[in-house]
Copies of this chain bind each other. A is one copy, B any other.
Amino acid sequence: MKAVVYQGPRSLAVEEVPDAKVQGPLDAVIRITTTNICGSDLHMYEGRTAVEEGKVLGHENMGVVEEVGPGVTRIRVGDRVSVPFNIACGTCRNCTGGWTSFCLRVNPIDGMDGAAYGYANMGPYDGGQAELLRVPYADFNLLELPPGTEHENDFTMLSDIFPTGYHGTELAEVGPGDSVAVFGAGPVGLMAAHSAVLRGASRVFVVDKEADRLALAERYDAIAVDFSRGDPVEQIMEATDGVGVDRGVECVGWQAHDPSGQEHPELVLDNLVKVVRTAGSIGVVGVYVPEDPGVDDPSSAGRIGWDYGTFFTKGQRMGTGQAPVKRYNRQLRDLIITGQAKPGLITSHEVGLDQAVDAYDRFDKREEGWTKVLLKPDS
């Protein structure tokens, strides 16, 4: 089968590799219909992770079930399914507690809980930027979709970014009537904004500097805050009569940068502490890492000196980490079916697998308008 293979920093290839296969009684193999490039794929692409050469990338996958193992009884061949990016066993303590993002059994790296397809440090699982994908514990992991091709570009957001954005709003405890500040209008930030509105937030501010992304935020009924035009904290404080917001969502991560492009890993955390009210809460789904091979002192990356004293003084709460997709994807699917949720709106490009290398390159350069790229192995 054809697949997108990692060969080193900023080096990918679309190659023939052995077909994905059912390897155990609980496996399924999926024929991929859509697989997206994720912002976090760029962390690997840029050489800022420990991903090994030869890995097939791609953790945002959907498709049709091609084959199942003998222990798979819920999911059937021919089912159209979304594949959560988290690989989870379904029977360990974290899985049964709803934390599939931290499954205790699927990652062989000592001390690492949780696994994913085609991702650095997340276990020996190939990704789905390919024609076929092997899915372990298929009955537990797969989400059924209505048959056919309707809503394809909406449903493809169910594997990662829509639940991830939603998880940000859950960690931030967003409820009806709340005011919310989302930092970052990349795909995850836009999904967080969309989720906050779906949960009944009264006002949702979205902070970014890219006009096309801010325009998308407004299509989701959010209020655009352009930080290239002035301090976003001041803009939000002014818009809220000095009160600030009830909730904050971090959708940027450790590569946060100022308008000049200089990275400041503490920048967004500091802004959130300022802009969120006393006793308010913050959800962090932008990625922070303990080590960053892309900087001079890799082990310094995780030790971020942000304004913890004010965080405490304001009595704020903060939740973090990768989203347990399965906790949300069924409900979000149902909102897509009824037309209330429209995550596919952010799709900017749909290309065949053969164009994946070029697409990575342009997405990584943040070329204008390259918001979200969908790969279609069939086309």
Contact = CB atoms under 8 A, between A and B. Distances in A.
Contacts of A338: 202-203
Interface stretch (A38-46, A97-105, A255-263, A356-364): A97-105
A171 to B, nearest CB: 7
A71 B68 CA distance: 13
A5 to B, nearest CB: 26
A266 to B, nearest CB: 8
A291 to B, nearest CB: 7
A314 B303 contact: no
Contact of A198 (B69, B179, B200): B200
A291 B303 contact: no
A108 to B, nearest CB: 14
Contacts of A305: 303-305
A199 interface: yes
Contacts of A227: none
B310 A202 contact: no
Interface string A324-350: 001000111111011010000000000
Nearest to A92: B74
A7 interface: no
Interface stretch (A14-22, A54-62, A149-157, A282-290): A282-290
A174 to B, nearest CB: 10
A327 to B, nearest CB: 8
A203 B98 CA distance: 23
Question: Interface centre among A99, A113, A203, A304, by most B CB within 10 Å?
Answer: A304
A317 B314 contact: no
A284 to B, nearest CB: 6
Nearest to A288: B312
B140 A332 contact: no
A22 to B, nearest CB: 12
Contacts of A99: 278-279, 315
Contacts of A96: 90, 140, 326
Given A101-B315, A301-B309, A331 B176 contact: yes
Nearest to A340: B202
A308 B98 CA distance: 23
Contacts of A309: 254, 288-291, 301-304
A178 interface: yes
A74 to B, nearest CB: 5
A139 interface: yes
Contact of A317 (B198, B302, B318): B318
A124 interface: no
Nearest to A336: B202
A91 B279 contact: no
> Ordered nearest first, which 5 A-B pairs have the shortest CB separation?
A302-B309, A177-B331, A315-B321, A71-B71, A305-B305
Interface of A: 24-26, 69-71, 74, 89-94, 96-99, 101-102, 105, 113-114, 139-140, 166, 171, 175-179, 198-200, 202-203, 254, 266, 269, 278-279, 284, 287-291, 301-322, 326, 330-335, 337-338, 340
6 contacts: A90-B91, A101-B279, A203-B334, A203-B338, A304-B308, A317-B318
